[in-house]
Chain A
Amino acid sequence: GAGVSQTPSNKVTEKGKYVELRCDPISGHTALYWYRQSLGQGPEFLIYFQGTGAADDSGLPNDRFFAVRPEGSVSTLKIQRTERGDSAVYLCASSGSLGTYNEQFFGPGTRLTVL
Chain B
Amino acid sequence: DQQVKQNSPSLSVQEGRISILNCDYTNSMFDYFLWYKKYPAEGPTFLISISSIKDKNEDGRFTVFLNKSAKHLSLHIVPSQPGDSAVYFCAASGSGGSNYKLTFGKGTLLTVNP
Q: How far is the CA of A58 from the CA of B100 in the complex (A)?
A: 13
Q: A59: which B residues are within 8 A, CB to CB?
A: 101
Q: A45: which B residues are within 8 A, CB to CB?
A: 101-103
Do residues A42 and B107 form an inter-chain contact, with CB atoms below 8 A? yes
- Chain B interface residue count, CB cutoff 8 Å, equals 24
A contacts, CB < 8 Å to B: 4, 31, 33, 35, 40-45, 48, 55-56, 59, 91, 93, 95, 99-101, 103-109
Contact residue among B41, B51, B104 (Cβ-Cβ distance under 8 Å from A43): B104
Do residues A93 and B43 form an inter-chain contact, with CB atoms below 8 A? yes
Do residues B100 and A33 form an inter-chain contact, with CB atoms below 8 A? yes
Contact residue among B42, B45, B89, B101 (Cβ-Cβ distance under 8 Å from A42): B89
Residue of B44, B46, B51 most packed against chain A (CB within 10 A): B44
Q: B105: which A residues are within 8 A, CB to CB?
A: 42
Q: B77: which A residues are within 8 A, CB to CB?
A: none
B49 proximal to A (CB < 8 A): yes
The closest CB in chain B to the CB of A40 belongs to: B106
The closest CB in chain B to the CB of A106 belongs to: B43
B93 proximal to A (CB < 8 A): yes
* B90 nearest CB across to chain A (Å): 8
Q: How far is the CA of A87 from the CA of B63 in the complex (A)?
A: 35
B65 proximal to A (CB < 8 A): no
